[in-house]
Structure 1
Amino acid sequence: MATVVPENVPPSAGWTSYDGWDYNGMKERLERFMSIINKSSLVEHTQLIIGQPVSISEAFSAGQFWCCFELLAVDGRLIIARVRLPRHPDSTSANKHSELYSIECEVATMKFLHENVTGVPFPRLYAYEGPGSQRAGNVGAAYMLIEGFYGNTMQDVQFNICELPISTQEHIITQWTSVQAELATFTFPQIGSISHFSKDTGAIIGKLSTAVAEGLSNDGPFTEAWDYFTAVADAKFRHACKNDAANDDSSFFSRLGPFVFKDIVHNAALFKTGGGPFHFNHMDMGTQNILIDQDFNFLAIIDWEFAQTAPWEVNHYPMPFPLISADAKTDCILQNPDHIAHRNVSRQVAARKMYRQKFRDAEEQALKSRGRSSQKSIADVLDGAASRIYAILEKFGVFEGMEEELTYEMVRLAYGFDREEAKKYLNEMEAKMKGQ
């Protein structure tokens, strides 16, 4: 059953502040941060923008990079102060320059959305005060003031939407695919992040803002899909090796799988799809980044820091109905009503069919109502081998214990090998990996 979401309950009612942060010096980091932040300056700036008094929440929500405070206006409007946390002393994920560039790209993206999209709900950006600004100095850190919403993430309301009534699933998926289809109508000749936007220049595509955090040795911008996937493959393998060295319990296939993906990118034709145009993609539009009301209406898509232009093959079926298992395995389960996974797999298959059809409907609607369509059909891409392989790669490190099955499925999709042929190929890949 879905969780009942009370109306008009602000997000801060569920914020846990320091709870859950008492490890590796993280709580102390937050306490030091709170000791220097001038919340009254946030209140003052917000009141100046909206022209009425506001109160600021005592509770806060913290992540790896940002801390959020809630500001409530007398007319009930919500504004979220998203304040940049200092880098943790042990952090190696990014440097100050790349962090600032990432923030600037997110701000540019939100400006682009504000000027160009009509069917995508997203928070309004009221203000951004970067390092060096007087207001950031007054507060004690860089910050954004963005629109808040009376709602919750879909993940928190209903973790597995496949358990909802079909009519509710259809309502959710219709909105989900419509948003992505509209974003995909904006195409560019390069793969990268929106580094700058103005009405005069339009959107300028620069290097990927997430390159350092994701471990990409080449940060673009890319003019060929293959160059992008090569950079992703190298980064995924390096990350897998690092994790494997630090985790004695990790599966051997947790390294071999990403290494196999590297081989597929280099030697199969699946990811050699040439140059642009490349579509604009949120890149992280899972249920954790979709705010909804109690009727499952989309209120806003949040967290645009990963947004970029991308090859079409990055689109795949999302959780909780990913397409990562072999078709034969899925068919076998569907044909056996007594199988322990029959109910769950049946629901996932039905959700995928609905998702693909709703994408097709959304693409047709985008062309009909806006006179624009994407250069390719995402509905057609979803069941393709490249999309499925990329979806599998994303699950390494997430679906622990499935690494071997995932690796074999990548090989089957890429080369059409049966089990024995795949085993021989993987033995060769193992030897090659050890040689490197």
Structure 2
Amino acid sequence: MEAPAKTFPSERWSSFALCESDEEEACLKAFIEHALDILGVSVTISEPFSIGQSWCCFELVAPDREGFIIARLQIPQDPESATSGGADNYAIECEVATMAFVRDNVKGVTVPQVYAYEGPGTSRAAKVGAVYMLIEGFFGNTAADVELQLYNLPIATQEHFIAQWTAIQASLASHTFSQIGSICHYTPSTGPTIGPLASASSFPTAGPFSSAHAYFTALAESYLSTALSRPTPSRFATLGALIFRAIVRGTPLFSSPGPFPLNHMDLGSQNLLIDPATYDILAVIDWEMASPAPWPTYTSYPMPFPSYHSDRETAAWLYDPAHVAHVNVARQLGAQRLYRRGFLDAERRLRGEGRPLGRSIAAGLEGDDAGRVLFVAEKLGCWAMEEELTYELVRLGFGLGGEEAREFMREVEAEFRKDPL
């Protein structure tokens, strides 16, 4: 029986025709020359490429198609400069250090090997015109690219995939630190050094933080600053950020004690590389946001099965088979149960290995309002549901609904107009 064909990531990439000038073609040739130094053989570069807000990725494939490298090119934020600014470069350095730490220390988590990192000032970065990394490629693609709505998969497939997913997160969480920040430096001999958060360029302060309350206070201020900086500020995006700040300041939800578990911070299905045929997780990618973080960052459901609606709304949809949302809600809740069970199993294995977690992630998913508040607050500027999400914050944080909630929001707005600080 023939072995299944290997799936290259570029088979699902849809961006084409980047090379419209001699300068752009020279960039790609520079990647190929560097890959030749690493692999010892000439490579071809994929025609399709993948592009996001900060990175552009190309595939460099050896002639025997047995191995390949991903060229991950940072998109310069300043069009007049060949490389991005200091904050962006610090973030890349933190990502490289974090990946090295995880590769050396975290059992059961596969991280792509970084073959080369060409930072600002190096001759290769100057030749390409941007900072870049050359990293290990894996045959397969992200789980989100293969199936965006994972809860539509057969139950057995969901169980297999989610068991791996939760085991990875639990293994990361078994490594704890005394401060909240980014791993800015790591060597096997010196261990990890925690510095300011690489993902917090908009924070009034970026740490490192010694308490969860200090971290969430800075986070709340950053959400408010972002809402107010919109060209046309949204009333409910701004009000939602104010409500989140009030929850952080006036409730104990975000005062969880340390030590603080290592968290990828963006471990949705979009950052898990899988074998499409088996749903085996091959590697975890995109570590730029990873950091030791407070426990509530672990106790909300990731995409694609979030929980931001009120329990009352969810129950109404679940028990009304005629409702348009009934099927999807039932499937999402089923996936959430599998996700919680996955953590229970992972936590049991860690205890058996003598590596118990500081607290149960599974239990937090069941009853931690802090995780739900955090998830809702993160989505205020992303979805066209800002009014609904703001009311949900009031309900979760202060237990208010109806006219009481509206009155509370009017008071918050009035106080902000009187004293914006």
TM-score between both structures, scaled by the size of structure 2 = 0.91
Identity %: 48
State the Cα deviation string for residues 241-279 of structure 1 (Å, max 9, x = none).
222x436xx4x21211111000110011111224x2101
Equivalent residues in 2 for 1:74-85 (5 A)?
A: 74-75=63-64, 76-85=66-75
**Corresponding residue of 1:8:** 6
Shift of 1:344: 1.5
Match of 1:306 among 289, 293, 305: 289
**Corresponding residue of 2:317:** 333
Q: Distance in 2 between matches of 1:131 and 1:319?
A: 34
**Corresponding residue of 2:399:** 416
Unpaired stretches in structure 2, ≥5 consecutive residues: none
**Corresponding residue of 1:208:** 197
**3-state SS of the aligned residue for 1:246?**
coil
Match of 1:286 among 248, 256, 268: 268
Say if 1:339 and 1:88 are closer, same or farther in 2 by CA, change over 3 A: same
**Corresponding residue of 1:87:** 77
| Contact 1:207-1:220 at 8 Å conserved across structures | yes
Worse-superposed segment, 112-121 or 193-202? 112-121
Q: Distance in 2 between matches of 1:325 and 1:33?
A: 52
Match of 1:169 among 158, 163, 179: 158
Which 4+ stretches in 1 moved above 4 angstroms? 30-34
Say if 1:139 and 1:342 are closer, same or farther in 2 by CA, change over 3 A: closer
Letter in 2 for 1:246: T
| Contact 2:212-2:255 at 8 Å conserved across structures | yes
State the Cα deviation string for residues 192-219 of structure 1 (Å, max 9, x = none).
000000011101110001111xx11101
**3-state SS of the aligned residue for 2:229?**
helix
**Corresponding residue of 1:191:** 180
**Corresponding residue of 2:220:** 233
Q: Distance in 1 between matches of 2:199 and 2:182?
A: 9
Letter in 1 for 2:317: I
| Contact 2:260-2:294 at 8 Å conserved across structures | yes
State the Cα deviation string for residues 309-361 of structure 1 (Å, max 9, x = none).
10010121112221111112222222222222221211111211111111111
Say if 1:78 and 1:231 are closer, same or farther in 2 by CA, change over 3 A: same
Q: Distance in 2 between matches of 1:433 and 1:95?
A: 36
**Corresponding residue of 1:24:** none
| Contact 1:33-1:86 at 8 Å conserved across structures | no
**3-state SS of the aligned residue for 1:115?**
helix
State the Cα deviation string for residues 134-171 of structure 1 (Å, max 9, x = none).
33344443321101122121111111111111111111
Say if 1:237 and 1:10 are closer, same or farther in 2 by CA, change over 3 A: same
Worse-superposed segment, 306-315 or 424-433? 424-433
Unpaired stretches in structure 1, ≥5 consecutive residues: 1-5, 20-26
Q: Distance in 2 between matches of 1:396 and 1:53?
A: 48
State the Cα deviation string for residues 334-389 of structure 1 (Å, max 9, x = none).
222222222121111121111111111111112324x2122121112223111110
The total of aligned residue pairs comes to 411
Letter in 2 for 1:365: R
**Corresponding residue of 2:204:** 217
Shift of 1:50: 2.7
Tell me the C-alpha RMSD between the 2 structures.
Answer: 2.3
TM-score between both structures, scaled by the size of structure 1 = 0.88
